[in-house]
């Protein structure tokens, strides 16, 4: 049975989508069958893999709201072993529509049940809020991976996230646990980045991934080419870091 990981942090711009896209692609390159689920109305994970958001015949919206079979919506990407359940702006109104639905927090979990065993990893890229879409993502997952940006307010809001994870575990998904924290956009030239790493390590004892994702211009450029970093520039430091993160998630330790 595969593992389902949600990439979550209700703050925007901390590297959720960059992490979701690149870890998915790296896991696929490491011979895992991977499904990336985009549950953010912004659809950045979708476009980041070169899929035209506006031209979608069906999206995750149809799966959650209209009960369409996920299998009919999942599409291939340019990467072998990597499939995508795409999203676009249609999803923006979904939270309001969901309010009236039965068991509205577990729509995604039920939608993924029929495809779960076809993948070694399912990764879910979530929106920057703790609303119903994120609750659906947390309810569908085994583990949460939290990207934290190396900046001044890094720890702000994290107790809310951890509390939400606890509540979901109590009421909706007893299996949920924190896989770990990954520090992103690290800039070795600034004392601030170094301080944030120390603080986060203190706060999340033992839960912080060894590899730290550096700030890397190539990582910012890759999405506009519709490519994960390993295809855009395989040799850059961003590509190396995300490959290492994928290995850590698989439990392969570097000496």
| Chain positions contacting ligand ADP, by CB under 6 A | 12-18, 44, 128, 184-185, 213, 215-216, 219-220, 223, 238
Query: Closer CB to ligand ADP, residue 15 or residue 43?
Result: 15
What 8-state DSSP symbol labels residue 175? T
Judged by beta carbon distances under 5 to 8 A according to partner kind, the member of ligand ADP, Mg ion, none in contact with residue 219 is ligand ADP
HSE-CB of 255 using CA atoms within 13 angstroms = 0
Judged by beta carbon distances under 5 to 8 A according to partner kind, the member of Mg ion, ligand ADP, none in contact with residue 227 is none
Give CA 106 to chain center in angstroms.
18
Judged by beta carbon distances under 5 to 8 A according to partner kind, the member of ligand ADP, Mg ion, none in contact with residue 228 is none
Q: Closest approach of Cβ 103 to Mg ion, in Å?
A: 26
Query: Closer CB to ligand ADP, residue 109 or residue 215?
Result: 215
Q: Which residue is closest to Mg ion by CB? A: 17
Judged by beta carbon distances under 5 to 8 A according to partner kind, the member of ligand ADP, Mg ion, none in contact with residue 215 is ligand ADP
Strand ranges, E, within the chain: 3-7, 34-38, 75-76, 82-85, 121-125, 143-149, 177-184
Q: What are the tokens at 191?
A: 């004392």
Q: Which of 222, 229, 3, 254 is nearest to 116 (CA)?
A: 3
């Amino acid at each position: 049975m595969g593992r389902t990981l949600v990439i979550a942090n209700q703050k925007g711009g901390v590297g959720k989508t960059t992490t979701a896209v690149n870890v998915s692609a790296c896991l696929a390159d490491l011979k895992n069958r991977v499904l990336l689920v985009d549950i953010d109305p912004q659809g950045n994970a979708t476009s980041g893999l070169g899929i035209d958001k506006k031209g979608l015949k069906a999206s995750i919206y149809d799966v959650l709201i209209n009960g369409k079979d996920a299998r009919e919506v999942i599409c291939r990407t340019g990467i072998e072993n990597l499939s995508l359940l795409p999203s676009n702006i249609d999803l923006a109104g979904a939270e309001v529509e969901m309010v009236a639905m039965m068991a509205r927090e577990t729509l995604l979990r039920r939608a993924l049940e029929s495809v779960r065993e076809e993948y070694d990893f399912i990764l879910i890229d979530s929106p920057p809020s703790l609303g119903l879409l994120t609750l659906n993502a947390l309810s569908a997952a085994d583990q949460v991976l939290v990207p934290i940006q190396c900046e001044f307010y890094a720890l702000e809001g994290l107790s809310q996230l951890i509390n939400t994870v606890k509540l979901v575990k109590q009421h909706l998904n007893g299996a949920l646990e924190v896989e770990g924290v990954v520090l992103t956009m690290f800039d070795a030239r600034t004392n601030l980045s170094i301080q944030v790493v120390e603080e986060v390590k203190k706060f999340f004892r033992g839960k912080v991934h060894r590899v730290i994702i550096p700030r890397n211009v190539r990582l910012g450029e890759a999405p506009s080419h519709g490519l994960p970093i390993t295809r855009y520039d395989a040799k850059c430091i961003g590509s190396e870091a995300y490959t290492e993160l994928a290995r850590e998630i698989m439990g392969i330790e570097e000496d």
